[in-house]
Structure 1
Amino acid sequence: MLQVYNTYSLEKEDFVPQEAGKITMYLCGPTVYNYIHIGNARSAVAFDTIRRYLEWRGFEVNFVSNFTDLGDKVIAQGEKEGLTEQEVADKYAAAFAADTRQLNIKPATSRPRATEYMEEMVAFVERLLDQGQAYEVNGNVYFSTKKFKNYTALSHQNMEQLEENAAGRLGEEDQEDKHDPTDFALWKSESRPDVVAWPSPWGLGRPGWHLECSVMNDQLLGETIDIHAGGIDLTFPHHTNELAQSESYHHRQFVRYWLHNGFVNVNDEKMSKSLGNFVTIHDLLKTDIDPQGLRFFLAKTNYRRAISYSPDRLDQTQGELDRLYRTYQGLLSAKGIAAAGQVSQQVQNQVAELEEAFIEAMDDDFNTENAVTVIFDLATFANKVQNQDNATQGDLECLANRLQTWLGIFGIEQLTKEIVLTSEQEALLAERAAARAAKDFQTSDAIRDQLLITGLVVRDSPQGQTWELN
């Protein structure tokens, strides 16, 4: 039985979607004012991996992830670059698409932008006002947190402490407008010149940050959704406020399961521009790293745990992935003794046992760490089988297929690298094969060393020699 850790209950719960075989899932996307950093990418990779696993288990996943394409950060970046808000949003939304494509993140079912739903946002706020859950002051509309029961249920915070903290953050103008320091803006009056604003019954303005996700959930997924996902830093205030306004609007449960991923630190320190350790995916992908190695690094740790990025840790992960590449390539290169489709009982039994362990790991709140251990157990077994004289072609194909499938759930789909041999390498390989056939192992070893200098690693098995790039 699949279990997920629900931030709302702080417990693992049996996962049962509203509609059998179908899942509605919303992931809070980025504000598109700059290139995404490694923390943004970790969230995108983690929930793409979860989505892929759910689809492999047979669910149809309606996956929505938004772009916040307005706000002070977008405005400030536009002033810095001499661009309009829309030009800034278009530029960095395109960069997000390009960078996540390299990380093999599947396109969302829907990728809405906040600015596409202004009429719906205004209508949403009007209904909350009609219900007495919100109030208007000087063209601003605020949500009254005290009128919503269990406002802190998701964040598990103390309301009195929230009031004290909020009061300390508010300016004099906000203090005068708000009925309570914890109340939050649904709509903000906008009078700045050269800043885009939208019409509303309360005058020109812009939506509050939390409003957009509630409205897009409502429009694209429905009143109650199965999974709402995002970084742990969004639990409060963003997701807390989403929950409050959505449940006030519909008077029913907004989200069945809240899933939050952990932080990404850099060299064991919190990532911060002030510390000079701010890492963007855009910059990383311009280096000679394997994008799949970066993806594997972000995916292999359980999504709820914090991870620490460093070049050394990324290199270590790349070495682990290279081992899996070699295993897969070896399975493709080896030759079995029987026709395809004939899988030995030994391989059938072992693969079935490993698949059960893989599912058990992923069904335990998507425990990718244990699932990766199972993948390496499969690779160890596959290396053993491909070196056996009695391995069948069906054995090799079965193992290659299973390795490809499980790595595909992790978004690792390109397992082979095309090797174009030089004429010198081809001649040396032929000479070495002849030497081994003649049992002249001294010459064979010497040629292997020559090939290594040319960048080719040669390995031997009962089926013959195989090679890969060094």
Structure 2
Amino acid sequence: MTIRLHDSRAQALVDFVPLEPGRVSMYVCGPTVQSSPHVGHLRSALVYDLWRRWFTYRGLEVTLVRNVTDIDDKILALAADGPEEWWARAYRVELEFTAGYQALGILAPTYEPRATASVSEMQQIVSRLIERGHAYAAPDGSGDVYFDTASWPTYGALTNQSVDDMAPAADADPRGKRDPRDFALWKGAKADEPASASWSSPWGDGRPGWHIECSAMSRRYLGAAFDIHGGGLDLRFPHHENELAQSTAAGDDFASYWMHNGLVAVEGQKMSKSLGNSIFAADFLAAARPVVVRWFLSAAHYRSTIDYHDGALVEAEAALDRVETFLSRAERRLTGTRFASVGSRVVPDDFAEAMDDDLNVPQALAVLHDAVRAGNSALDDGDLDTAAREWQHVAAMVAVLGVDPLAPEWRGEDEGDAHRALGTIVETLLATRHEARAARDFAQADRVREMLASAGITIEDTPSGSHWSLEQ
């Protein structure tokens, strides 16, 4: 078993070899909690949830750290225009992100640190960089500290850029910079910023720059060297490039592999606030069953762009319904037989090969759909051996992907109550139909079937009894 992944730094598919056999350490750049999450945030978190699930299925113990950036220029600016304190706004928005993750069945990270809880670790890295000659305090006494990009010869290695081609760093006031491309490690306090957003430091009161936050949190929770650093494609530069430079310049090995997930487009256009086409996570989750949203966001290869269009969730619903119908049908038909158990839930080899190949979910879903078709044909033919095998395979595949439509986490309380109420009515009618058939009153039995069919309910007669399902 060899898992291959696309390493953004190498710009190639490589074999994944963990630093510690049997264990995987992952750091994923989480949200900057300035405003409500959009679909792109959900997609990014879901990508690394899928990686985590697959590593775990392959027998590896995964430690996943996903940070929360709760101090940032935009958080302070947005809070300044409203009634909330900056930290209250950050926490409220963080809860919105958590709700979105939970709705999609994204597993909670092993650790989820907030940036404000690691300021002392950030200061330690800044001090090491100054001591090593890779950072400097602004001479104007402002309290700003910058990374000296000219001092680090491999700056630009992650994105394969020449320093001469880089635009000036726009993450801080340029006061006191030696070079416009130098980026902020520490930002001196300003008179128009709240005192609660400032910490004391050797260079003066202030707060951390954005990039240093992730370097400090990854080191604190995973150590100076870890396996995988992940995040959205939009973070490669400058954020990840700067993380790599400052961590390695401070003497840490940092990440062995870099992963970047693709973004989300709407009707062929990049989703962005400036275009007014951003889709908020809460609205997206309200547009379809959460498991359908998870299916849609999982179905494309993680490195590709997802293009959302009208009807996309309808298509995802139809694809998932075919899986759900087969699982329900197989369960009904095989219950009470020697094939009733789905066994150890082992995925088929073709599915595993696709997932081992840089998490090729589209190819894995093709294997899943083939299994559904084969299982339905086997049920039609009465071939219970084949039907049971495909049932086991399908159950295993949807479990690994986190899209088992019959799993209890996807059934809300209201949905469960409604389904139970409908079930009581239908079962009563089925009992009436059974009595009519036993009395050879086939006209009455047919009337019951036709009445149920008009309500979108399909009846399947099997040796174990009559079973019903909603038409898909």
TM-superposed deviation, 1:404? 2.5
TM-superposed deviation, 1:275? 2.5
**Structure 1 Cα separation of the partners of residues 76 and 144 of structure 2:** 20
Structure 1 85/397 Cα, relative in aligned 2: closer, same or farther at 3 Å?
farther
TM-superposed deviation, 1:317? 0.6
2:348 to 355, 364, 379: 355
Q: Which runs of 5+ in 1 are unaligned?
A: none
2:159 to 155, 161, 167: 155
Structure 1 33/445 Cα, relative in aligned 2: closer, same or farther at 3 Å?
farther
Does 1:374 pair with 2:376? no
Does 1:385 pair with 2:387? no
SS at structure 1 position matched to 2:100: helix
TM-superposed deviation, 1:76? 2.5
Cα contact 1:389–1:463 (8 A) shared by 2? no
Q: Deviations over 1:199-255 (max 9, x none)?
A: 0111111111000000011110011110100001100000000000100112x5321
2:263 alignment counterpart? 263
SS at structure 2 position matched to 1:334: helix
SS at structure 2 position matched to 1:415: coil
Does 1:275 pair with 2:279? no
Q: Which runs of 5+ in 2 are unaligned?
A: none
2:324 alignment counterpart? 325
Structure 1 276/452 Cα, relative in aligned 2: closer, same or farther at 3 Å?
farther
1:314 alignment counterpart? 313
**Structure 1 Cα separation of the partners of residues 401 and 114 of structure 2:** 27
How many residues in Structure 1 have an aligned counterpart in Structure 2? 455
Root-mean-square deviation (Å)? 2.7
1:141 alignment counterpart? 145
Cα contact 1:388–1:462 (8 A) shared by 2? no
**Structure 1 Cα separation of the partners of residues 440 and 295 of structure 2:** 41
TM-superposed deviation, 1:278? 1.1
2:126 alignment counterpart? 125
Cα contact 2:37–2:281 (8 A) shared by 1? yes
- The amino acid of 2:151's aligned partner reads K
Structure 1 320/122 Cα, relative in aligned 2: closer, same or farther at 3 Å?
same
2:402 alignment counterpart? 411
Q: Which moved more, 1:119-128 or 1:152-161?
A: 152-161
Q: Deviations over 1:155-199 (max 9, x none)?
A: 12232211xx228x699x61x522122111101111224522110
- The amino acid of 1:60's aligned partner reads E
**Structure 2 Cα separation of the partners of residues 36 and 337 of structure 1:** 46
TM-superposed deviation, 1:297? 0.5
TM-superposed deviation, 1:363? 0.6
Structure 1 335/358 Cα, relative in aligned 2: closer, same or farther at 3 Å?
closer
Structure 1 444/311 Cα, relative in aligned 2: closer, same or farther at 3 Å?
farther
Structure 1 144/402 Cα, relative in aligned 2: closer, same or farther at 3 Å?
same
TM-superposed deviation, 1:314? 1.2
Does 1:20 pair with 2:21? yes
1:82 alignment counterpart? 83
TM-superposed deviation, 1:454? 3.0
Q: Deviations over 1:289-310 (max 9, x none)?
A: 1001001111111100001112
- The amino acid of 1:412's aligned partner reads V
2:168 alignment counterpart? 166
- Normalised to the residue count of structure 1, the TM-score between the two structures is 0.89
Q: Deviations over 1:43-82 (max 9, x none)?
A: 0011101110110110000000000001122112323331
**Structure 2 Cα separation of the partners of residues 365 and 212 of structure 1:** 28
**Structure 2 Cα separation of the partners of residues 266 and 291 of structure 1:** 19
Cα contact 1:387–1:463 (8 A) shared by 2? no
Cα contact 1:297–1:314 (8 A) shared by 2? yes
SS at structure 2 position matched to 1:29: coil
Cα contact 1:35–1:92 (8 A) shared by 2? yes
Does 1:299 pair with 2:298? yes
TM-superposed deviation, 1:455? 4.1
TM-superposed deviation, 1:446? 5.0
2:450 alignment counterpart? 449
Cα contact 1:145–1:183 (8 A) shared by 2? yes
Q: Deviations over 1:336-394 (max 9, x none)?
A: 68424799xxx99xx98x711001100110000000111111111221233343525xx
1:233 alignment counterpart? 234
Cα contact 2:76–2:193 (8 A) shared by 1? no
Structure 1 22/397 Cα, relative in aligned 2: closer, same or farther at 3 Å?
same
SS at structure 2 position matched to 1:332: helix
1:57 alignment counterpart? 58
**Structure 2 Cα separation of the partners of residues 52 and 22 of structure 1:** 13
**Structure 1 Cα separation of the partners of residues 321 and 425 of structure 2:** 25
- Normalised to the residue count of structure 2, the TM-score between the two structures is 0.89
Structure 1 342/105 Cα, relative in aligned 2: closer, same or farther at 3 Å?
closer
Structure 1 380/217 Cα, relative in aligned 2: closer, same or farther at 3 Å?
same
1:334 alignment counterpart? 333
**Structure 1 Cα separation of the partners of residues 424 and 4 of structure 2:** 55
- The amino acid of 1:146's aligned partner reads A
Q: Deviations over 1:89-145 (max 9, x none)?
A: 111111111111010000000000000011111111011101111011131111111
TM-superposed deviation, 1:276? 2.4
**Structure 2 Cα separation of the partners of residues 80 and 49 of structure 1:** 38
Structure 1 77/316 Cα, relative in aligned 2: closer, same or farther at 3 Å?
same
- The amino acid of 1:161's aligned partner reads D
**Structure 2 Cα separation of the partners of residues 170 and 427 of structure 1:** 67
1:186 alignment counterpart? 185
Once the two structures are aligned, what percentage of the paired residues are identical?
A: 37
TM-superposed deviation, 1:270? 1.2
Structure 1 288/151 Cα, relative in aligned 2: closer, same or farther at 3 Å?
closer
Structure 1 237/422 Cα, relative in aligned 2: closer, same or farther at 3 Å?
closer
**Structure 1 Cα separation of the partners of residues 57 and 430 of structure 2:** 41
**Structure 1 Cα separation of the partners of residues 189 and 391 of structure 2:** 59
Structure 1 330/220 Cα, relative in aligned 2: closer, same or farther at 3 Å?
same
